[in-house]
A = this chain, B = another copy of it.
Amino acid sequence: MKNLDESLLVHVPPFRKLSRAQIRDVLDLAVPKRFDPAALIFEEGMDADRFYLLLDGHIRVIRTTEGGDQVIALHIVAGQLFGIAAAIGRTTYPATAMAVDECLALSWPSDKWQSFVSSYDGFATESYKVVGERMGEMNNRIVEMATQHVEQRVARAVLRLINQSGKKVEGGIEIDFPITRQNLSEMTGTTLHTVSRLLSGWEKNGIVKSTRRRIVVTDAHRLVVLSEKSA
């Protein structure tokens, strides 16, 4: 438990400005944990007792409506903080976090947040920058949902995924975690049927290539064009 290597945090933005000794202190307070694919890390409404740093894997942040519809709010990639309800004055988690693939995360008790902010220079700044980026992303999604058609929204969602978690493969860029048409529909507010038809169409035009749970973008440029097609 106590032998986490300091190199883990050296390159992670919120901790980048900390000294070796400070990182040691932070790590000594951290609890590492592994999650299997589809494991729930915390659920919407739960008491927000810990905050997390994802070291490896991908996390999906989900909200569920009373009607049972799921909406994917965002994906977290390695190196990002999540579950930081404490940072924005919340006592419960606003959404559910689920491991997409095998994940490794560190966590700390939420009541440590305050002391991190005051003890470690740069920690607050970097963390709130993350908050700002997420707000920006959310804002963009609202604008998209309000003004764009389904095809453009799905195109953007795919582009965002390859930007955040794209892996170069021969013939294009692959989303490097498993994702279904259903998932994509939950990110864009449409149905899996419509997403399936869109992907089939794009595949016919040589823009993407996809198999079960995997998507490779072969012509990102044309996807960008699609995503911008007149409002």
Contact = CB atoms under 8 A, between A and B. Distances in A.
A207 interface: no
Q: Which of A87, A146, A231 gathers most chain B CB within 10 Å?
A: A146
A73 B68 CA distance: 26
Contact of A128 (B69, B89, B146): B89
Interface stretch (A104-112, A130-138, A175-183, A214-222): A130-138
Contacts of A66: 228, 231
B146 A189 contact: yes
Interface in A187-231: 188-189, 228, 230-231
A89 B125 contact: yes
Contacts of A21: none
Q: Which of A94, A142, A188 gathers most chain B CB within 10 Å?
A: A142
Contacts of A146: 69, 71, 145, 186, 188-189
Contacts of A7: none
A95 B65 CA distance: 28
Contact of A143 (B63, B89, B143, B188): B63
Interface residues of A, number: 38
A33 interface: no
Nearest to A85: B132
Interface in A1-58: none
A61 B228 CA distance: 24
Contact of A138 (B90, B138, B188): B138
Contacts of A141: 142
A4 to B, nearest CB: 27
- In order of increasing CB-CB distance, the 3 nearest A-B pairs are A67-B231, A88-B132, A146-B189
Interface of A: 63, 65-69, 71, 73, 85, 87-90, 94-95, 125-126, 128-129, 131-132, 134-136, 138-139, 141-143, 145-147, 186, 188-189, 228, 230-231
22 contacts: A63-B143, A66-B228, A67-B230, A69-B146, A71-B142, A71-B143, A71-B146, A87-B128, A88-B131, A88-B132, A88-B135, A89-B125, A89-B128, A94-B135, A94-B136, A131-B135, A134-B135, A135-B135, A135-B138, A138-B138, A138-B142, A142-B142
